[in-house]
Amino acid sequence: MRSGITRRWLRGSLLITVLLVLLVEVMFLYSATRSYYNGVQQTMYRRFSSITGQLKMYTGETSQKTAASRSVALRRMVEQFSDKDKYEFMLLDSYGGVIASSSGTDAEGIVTRTDFEQAQDAVDGQGIAIYRTQSGEMVMAACCLVPYAAEDVAAMRLVTSLTLVEEQLKRTVVVALIMGAAVLAFTIMSGLYFVRSIVVPLGQVERTAAGIARGELDVRLPVTGDERDEVDRLRGTINRMAEGLEETEKMKNEFISSVSHELRTPLTSIRGWVETLRTLDDPSDENYRKGLEIINNETARLYNMVEELLDFSRLQNGRLKMTCRPLDLVAELTDAVLFCEARIQREGLVLVYNEPEEMIPVYADPDRLRQVFINILDNAIKYSAPGGRITVKLWAGEYKAFIELIDQGRGIPPEDLENVKTKFYKGSNSVRGSGIGLALVDSIMTALDGTMDIKSTLGRGTVVTLGLPLYKNKKPFS
């Protein structure tokens, strides 16, 4: 299909170029022909003007003698005409007949009455005719009426051959054809170059993009690295897009595998304990109570995981609604810390949190804010070894409030740090989880006009800093 479009484009471009070249050449040749013919014509008219000027010098005692004197002078000019090799000089009577000729003949076969008739009808008394003689020679005849009485002489005629002019025109036509052929050749070459440099690469890009759309994410386009080449930059962009899609596809598959594993583990535990409980008839049995507790915990874990997935999906699709209102950030953070405190102690960790005495007003959704705090604290607990310290700090700046959560856990490798907020990403140092926790936290903070910054040193711990705009309205909290 691409080649068909290219061929049609080339044919259309070539046809337009041919028509333009033909139009230009026709106009050029017409202009050149008119220029050559006008030059010959003006030369003969200047001869007539010179002869007419000389006739003023011939006078007599009476008008008849003056006319006779001018007639004699004109005949003498014809007899003594010096450019007989270039022109045929003739004198005509009032009927257009030849009275005298510089060649001594009546010039039969080389003359026409057209120029004489034009001169009679023209205001300036001049006429021109271009024709072929009986021998096939192209000639130009110019006729001028004699403005003074000269007995039977009524008009003058100059006839000249156009052979040299025709030869010059032929050379001009040859040159024009060569130029036209050069223009057409340049058009064809530039079209082929265009095809090779743009159309063919674009076709390659189209095929590669179609392959990517079909799921062939490992395909790549060759690039030269030339920043001035727009097509090369496009190929580079396509390659980066394919790499990004391939990485996203990889993370998605890893996410599906991770979630499947995370869902299967509690489900296996629940199923096993359900089978065990079926065999127990005594509710007071220790295993009965233990089984119910495990089923309850695993069910809560599944519920939280599914809710996290649903929240992230809603947030990505813009369907997650934020119910924001003025809040005391100190109270919200303290509630989240107290919620996680028991678990922190069970894991053998040390919690350091000094609750600020003054309230810090923010405008946010309390449920989503609690979700952010618990998610980050959960990560700090998961990645910390027993005996480690988890520090929570809160302070207010001039325009924003800041929460800093510091752990002494295993830390995040530098190659994973820039991707931990990417959805579906699970780093090489990660433990159980869906891989969307930090992506969800980052999306919630963005929706609240807040920020999240993560700094980490491998083997020493991680610092997560959250920022929220302060609420400046003085109305009381609802």
Instruction: List Cβ neighbours of 136 (8 Å cut-off, separation of 6 or more).
Output: none
Return phi, psi of residue 412, to 5°: -115, 130
CA distance 172 to 17: 21
Among the listed residues 89, 88, 108, the one whose alpha carbon sits nearest the alpha carbon of residue 153: 89
Give me the chain's average pLDDT, please.
82
Let me know how many helices (H) and strands (E) the chain has, helices first: 11, 12
pLDDT (tens digit per residue) in 291-332? 788 888 778 777 777 777 777 677 666 666 788 999 999 999
Q: Which helix (H) or strand (E) holds 127?
A: strand 126-132
Per-residue pLDDT tens digits for 172-198: 888 888 888 888 888 778 777 766 666
Residue 171, token pair as written in the block = 């050379």
Q: Give the burial class of 159: count Cβ atoms within 10 A of its Cβ; 0-12 exposed, 13-18 middle, 19 or more buried.
A: buried
Q: Residue 311: which of 372, 376, 262 has the closest Cα?
A: 372
What are 202-248's pLDDT values in tens digits?
777 778 888 877 777 777 888 877 777 777 788 888 888 888 788 77
C-alpha to C-alpha distances, 100 to 70, 107, 135, 180, nearest whole angstrom: 14, 9, 22, 48
Q: Which domains does the chain have, with CATH numbers?
A: 4-169 (3.30.450.20), 230-317 (1.10.287.130), 325-469 (3.30.565.10)
| Cα diameter, the chain | 166
Closest CA to 445 of 384, 365, 329, 350: 365
pTM of the entire predicted model: 0.48
One-letter amino acid identity for 4?
Answer: G
Label residues 194-213 b or e (16+ Cβ within 10 Å = b): ebeeebebebbbeebeeebe
Q: Please answer whether residues 333 and 403 qualify as being in contact, where contact means their C-beta atoms are separated by less than 8 angstroms.
A: yes
The alpha carbons of the chain give a radius of gyration, in whole angstroms, of 52
CA–CA gap between residue 472 and residue 466 (Å, rounded): 19
Taking only the tens place, the pLDDT of each residue in 371-417 is 899 889 988 998 888 889 999 999 998 899 999 999 988 888 887 77
Phi, psi angles (nearest 5°) of residue 99:
-90, -45
